[in-house]
């Protein structure tokens, strides 16, 4: 089987507009949560969110800005960073070679900003005033299509959508595409921008969001006082390359993707199955595909949403898979700092996991002050940790019962 190298990373999220800014902030356990600024929250039950502090108008001129939803702009920016980080100039590649370059990106909700905006235009001004850019702006596959257009990717290109597991499924498909010989390089990851009045109201009605008033204390995975997740936004993009191609051009290799597991609870559209059997099977499949034993894993970047059921059930699933060795694992949640990016969360968390593998450092879980008795593993509270990492798992558990676990390891 062909091996897959991770050679480029890009992100924009609540901790910053690029990897160079975000990585030290993750290690420091900084807070990315603040007051929602995208809309007037006077009538909203939720006032806080983990919003991106980057102005897209700095990169996109007005005509282009009107054609793109924020989730697509986040992905385009992060792709540009990831390609630069990988030392790639795709414009210099031949058309024949670019036919073997693909783009697989996930999003859970897609262009909901445009849907709400143009819905308001139609109600107030009538159907003739709806923008001709409405459909190509809001469709979920706009993100992969626009990235392919911008960077000349002629190979397999599509979008995956499976709620919070969307970008994990995209990454898994990118892995399969290169491993099977279909492509040599794939731009993969995910993006989301759903901090809108309707989306926030919907999640609030489902009692999924934290109602804390202090933004800095709201996202607290595995803590006994957690009361819901914080809406985040942004993108994470990775460059996947066939290993021999990456080595031949002297690329820096952050790590290798070694396998993944994908299962479903087949239980409830929003609630995870309480015995943790679905995620546990995903972990085991990922290990089997990677050719690893449980004791070969040193760290887990948890789904860790800060919701009552998810954190306890993910802990149960880890114990089901790893047995007594679960207590030897370092585990932390990126969402404690950047909130929950929904379909984009898996991608940002894999960017973070790749940095952890490359630098042998794991970030802390922020706000873990009073651990839930049901969450009794090592969640790296308070401070980052230097840790020799061989292999790590990055977990995603989405509405619909979708469970995905991605295994990456150090390139030797």
DSSP labels, 295-330: GG--EEE----S-HHHHHHHHHHHHHHHGGGGGG-E
For the chain, give the percent of residues with pLDDT over 90: 99
The pLDDT value recorded for residue 66 is 93
Active site (catalytic) residues: 164, 303, 340
State yes or no: pLDDT of 412 exceeds 90: no
Average of per-residue pLDDT across 159-169: 98
Instruction: Report, at the CATH architecture level, how domain 4-248 is classified.
Output: 3-Layer(aba) Sandwich (3.40)
Average of per-residue pLDDT across 162-182: 98
Confidence of residue 222 (pLDDT cuts 50, 70, 90): very high
The pLDDT tens digits of the residues spanning 139-148 come to 999 999 999 9
Domain extent listing, the chain: 4-248, 256-409
Mean residue pLDDT of the chain comes to 97
Q: Give, in words, the CATH class of 256-409.
A: alpha beta
Average of per-residue pLDDT across 162-174: 98
Confidence of residue 255 (pLDDT cuts 50, 70, 90): very high
Confidence of residue 151 (pLDDT cuts 50, 70, 90): very high
The pLDDT value recorded for residue 1 is 83
**For residue 53, what are its two tokens?**
């502090």
* 262 contacts: CB under 8 Å, gap ≥ 6: 168, 169, 172, 282, 285, 402, 403, 404
Nearest to residue 408, comparing CAs of 332, 301, 250? 301
Confidence of residue 11 (pLDDT cuts 50, 70, 90): very high
Phi-psi label, residue 250: left if phi above 0, alpha if psi -120 to 50, beta otherwise: left
For the chain, give the percent of residues with pLDDT over 70: 100
Average of per-residue pLDDT across 228-242: 98
State yes or no: pLDDT of 245 exceeds 90: yes
The pLDDT tens digits of the residues spanning 308-321 come to 999 999 999 999 99
Q: ∠ at Cα 165 (160, 171), nearest 5°?
A: 60
The pLDDT value recorded for residue 68 is 98
Average of per-residue pLDDT across 245-258: 98
The pLDDT value recorded for residue 397 is 97
The position carrying tokens 């968390």 is 349
Q: Report the half-sphere exposure of 373 (CA within 13 A, side-chain side).
A: 0
**For residue 159, what are its two tokens?**
């979008």
The pLDDT tens digits of the residues spanning 345-390 come to 999 999 999 999 999 999 999 999 999 999 999 999 999 999 999 9
The pLDDT tens digits of the residues spanning 113-141 come to 999 999 999 999 999 999 999 999 999 99
Give the whole-angstrom CA distance, residue 306 versus residue 300.
16
* DSSP 3-state percent helix, strand, coil across the chain (nearest 5): 40, 25, 35
Give the whole-angstrom CA distance, residue 79 versus residue 70.
14
Average of per-residue pLDDT across 18-30: 98
The pLDDT value recorded for residue 16 is 98
């Amino acid at each position: 089987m062909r091996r897959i190298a991770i050679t480029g990373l890009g992100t924009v999220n609540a901790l910053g507009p690029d990897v160079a800014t975000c990585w030290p902030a993750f290690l420091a356990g900084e807070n990315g949560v603040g007051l929602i600024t995208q809309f007037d929250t006077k009538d909203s039950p939720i006032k806080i969110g983990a919003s991106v502090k980057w102005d897209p108008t700095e990169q996109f001129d007005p005509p282009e800005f009107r054609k793109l939803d924020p989730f697509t702009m986040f992905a385009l920016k992060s792709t540009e960073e990831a390609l630069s980080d990988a030392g790639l100039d795709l414009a210099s590649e031949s058309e024949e070679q670019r036919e073997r370059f693909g783009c697989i990106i996930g999003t859970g909700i897609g262009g909901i900003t445009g849907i709400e905006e143009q819905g308001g235009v139609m109600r107030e001004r009538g159907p003739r005033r709806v923008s001709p850019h409405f459909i190509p702006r809001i469709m979920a596959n706009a993100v992969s299509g626009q990235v392919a257009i911008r960077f000349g990717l002629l190979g397999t290109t599509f979008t995956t959508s499976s709620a919070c597991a969307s970008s994990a499924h995209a990454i898994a498909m990118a892995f399969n595409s290169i491993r099977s010989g279909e492509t040599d390089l794939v731009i993969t990851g995910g993006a989301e921008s759903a901090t809108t009045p309707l989306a926030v109201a919907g999640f609030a009605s489902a009692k999924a969001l934290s109602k804390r008033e202090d933004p800095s204390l709201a996202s607290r995975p595995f803590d006994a006082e957690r009361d819901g997740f914080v809406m985040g936004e942004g993108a994470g993009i990775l460059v996947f390359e066939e290993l021999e191609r990456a080595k031949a051009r002297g690329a820096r290799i952050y790590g290798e993707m070694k396998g993944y597991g994908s299962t479903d609870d087949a239980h409830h559209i929003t609630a995870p199955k309480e015995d943790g059997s679905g995620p546990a099977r995903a972990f085991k499949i990922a290990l089997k595909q990677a050719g690893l034993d449980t004791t070969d894993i040193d760290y887990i970047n948890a789904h860790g949403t800060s919701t009552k059921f998810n954190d306890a059930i993910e802990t149960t699933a880890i114990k089901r898979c790893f047995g007594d060795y679960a207590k030897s694992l370092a585990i932390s949640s990126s969402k404690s700092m950047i909130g929950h990016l929904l379909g984009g969360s898996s991608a940002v968390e894999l960017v973070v996991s790749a940095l952890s593998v490359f630098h042998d450092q794991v970030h802390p879980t922020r706000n873990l002050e009073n651990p839930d008795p049901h969450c009794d593993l090592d969640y790296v509270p308070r401070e980052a940790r230097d840790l020799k990492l061989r292999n790590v798992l990055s977990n995603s558990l989405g509405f619909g019962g979708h469970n995905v676990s991605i295994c990456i390891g150090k390139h030797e």
